[in-house]
């Protein structure tokens, strides 16, 4: 009997504690601060040019429970953080490494120097703090204490040059020198910095020949480039009849062209090559009898007559066979030298011209024998009928 009574007491106790736990509520607290630890080798010299990373450790802010915290690093040349910068990236662990190069790049801006000769030659103090946030919450950021790294030796570090991800073509017949109406060029798959566009480069209503320029931003911001800033392929120059038109690229032979811009990086500068190709578009795959990568004239789209408007349609030959999603669907492309056809393919979806660009393989579109594909490259529309 005594054992049975003890068991009843135990079960009742478990129920009591369980009831207490059910009544407990987790309250999210707003911490005032948290601790960033001084690195083990803080007294030494941090030579950023010869260091890959700097390690930091921290304690988690007391939110009242263990939260998924994200930390960001801020640095300053003054202890009061009158001016500071936040380094790239966030960290979810309480121990992490930051890039020494990121610190060096940020220090160039904090020192406000534009020439390497003006950059401090001696080590100097650097002040560091962390911010902590909870992703998706409305809790305000929490700042850690400020620590000092007494001897940090930076260098004149500049952000790495990266290829432009966008490119725009503008001119007197291409957007009428209005960036809002400029042609957005299409990335070539697998070739960062390389773009193409099917562009009408005829004459203005006043009879002037086409003139064009480019920029990787839709703006007159000093980065636009024209005749004096590009290298034009020898064959392209003869085909389009290019010339210097007051700094613009003048087109002496009006017509449709495939315009290609290829970007390279030399030092801290972009270099541009511009090529002009005949405006040939091709059917690929099942609808042309199963030919892939073809440049056969039999599968070439008809080019709009020059007397027509610039937004006229390119019309394919009649499909000689049906196409389904299983056998590859209707496919079309231009063909650039040294590139596979699918690097510059495109299709029409619900009346909209959609280039593959630098993206993944496109969805398949079915077609039947006797249909044609029409593309309006200016309006970015099309149809299959």
Of the chain, the percentage scoring pLDDT greater than 70 comes to 93
* CB 242 within 8 Å of CB 252: yes
Architecture of domain 168-277: Sandwich (2.60)
Domains 168-277 and 280-385 agree in fold: yes
Distance CA 210, CA 306 (A): 13
How far from chain centre, in Å, is Cα 52? 26
Domain ranges of the chain: 45-153, 168-277, 280-385
Q: Is the pLDDT of residue 17 over 60?
A: no
Quick one: pLDDT at residue 62?
87
User: In angstroms, rounded to a whole number, what is the distance separating the alpha carbons of residues 167 and 217?
Assistant: 7
Quote the pLDDT of residue 330: 97
Q: Which helix or strand (DSSP H or E) is residue 256 part of? A: strand 255-266
- Give the right CATH number for 280-385 from 3.40.50.2300, 2.60.120.860, 2.60.40.3610, 2.40.50.140: 2.60.40.3610
pLDDT attached to residue 205: 87
Encoded tokens for 237: 């120059």
Q: Considering the domain 45-153 in this protein, what is its CATH number? A: 2.60.40
Which pairing describes strands 168-171 and 142-143: parallel, antiparallel, or unpaired? unpaired
pLDDT in tens, 335-367: 999 999 999 999 999 999 999 999 999 999 999
Taking Cα atoms as reference points, which of 90, 72, 88, 50 lies closest to residue 128? 72
Separation CA 253–CA 277 (nearest Å) = 12
C-alpha span between 325 and 341 (Å, rounded): 19
pLDDT at 373: 98
Which pLDDT score, from 0 to 100, does residue 311 have? 78
Q: How many CB atoms lie within 10 A of CB 239?
A: 16
Distance between CA atoms of 39 and 29, rounded to whole angstroms?
A: 28
């Amino acid at each position: 009997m005594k054992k049975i009574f003890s068991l009843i007491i135990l079960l009742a106790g478990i129920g009591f504690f369980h009831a207490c736990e059910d009544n407990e509520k987790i309250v999210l607290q707003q911490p005032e601060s948290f601790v960033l630890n001084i690195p083990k080798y803080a007294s030494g010299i941090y030579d950023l040019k010869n260091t890959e990373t700097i390690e930091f450790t921290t304690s988690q802010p007391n939110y009242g429970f263990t939260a998924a915290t994200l930390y960001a690093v801020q640095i300053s040349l003054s202890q009061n953080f009158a001016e500071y910068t936040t380094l790239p990236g966030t960290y979810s662990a309480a121990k992490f490494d930051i890039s020494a190069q990121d610190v060096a790049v940020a220090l160039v801006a904090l020192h406000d120097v534009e020439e390497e000769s003006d950059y401090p030659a001696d080590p100097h103090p650097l002040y560091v703090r962390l911010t902590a946030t909870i992703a998706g919450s409305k809790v305000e950021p929490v700042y850690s204490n400020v620590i000092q790294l007494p001897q940090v030796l930076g260098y004149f570090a500049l952000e790495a040059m990266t290829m432009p991800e966008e490119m725009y073509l503008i001119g007197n017949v291409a957007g009428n020198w209005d960036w809002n109406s400029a042609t957005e060029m299409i990335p070539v798959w697998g070739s960062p910095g390389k773009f193409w566009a099917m562009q009408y480069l005829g004459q203005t209503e006043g009879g002037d020949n086409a003139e064009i320029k480019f920029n990787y931003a839709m703006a007159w911001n000093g980065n636009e480039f024209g005749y004096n800033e590009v290298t034009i392929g020898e064959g392209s120059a003869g085909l389009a009849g290019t010339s210097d038109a007051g700094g613009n690229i003048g087109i002496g032979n009006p017509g449709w062209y495939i315009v290609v811009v290829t970007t390279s990086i030399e030092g801290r500068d972009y270099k541009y090559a511009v090529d002009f190709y005949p405006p040939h578009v091709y059917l690929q795959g099942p609808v042309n009898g199963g030919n892939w990568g073809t440049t056969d004239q039999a599968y070439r789209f008809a080019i709009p007559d020059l007397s027509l408007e610039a937004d006229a349609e390119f019309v394919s030959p009649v499909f000689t066979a049906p196409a389904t999603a299983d056998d590859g669907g209707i496919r079309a492309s231009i063909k650039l030298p040294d590139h596979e056809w699918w690097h510059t393919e495109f299709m029409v979806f619900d009346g909209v011209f959609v280039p593959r660009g630098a993206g993944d393989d496109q969805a398949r579109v079915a077609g039947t024998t006797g249909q044609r594909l029409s593309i309006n490259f200016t309006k970015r529309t099309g149809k299959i009928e």
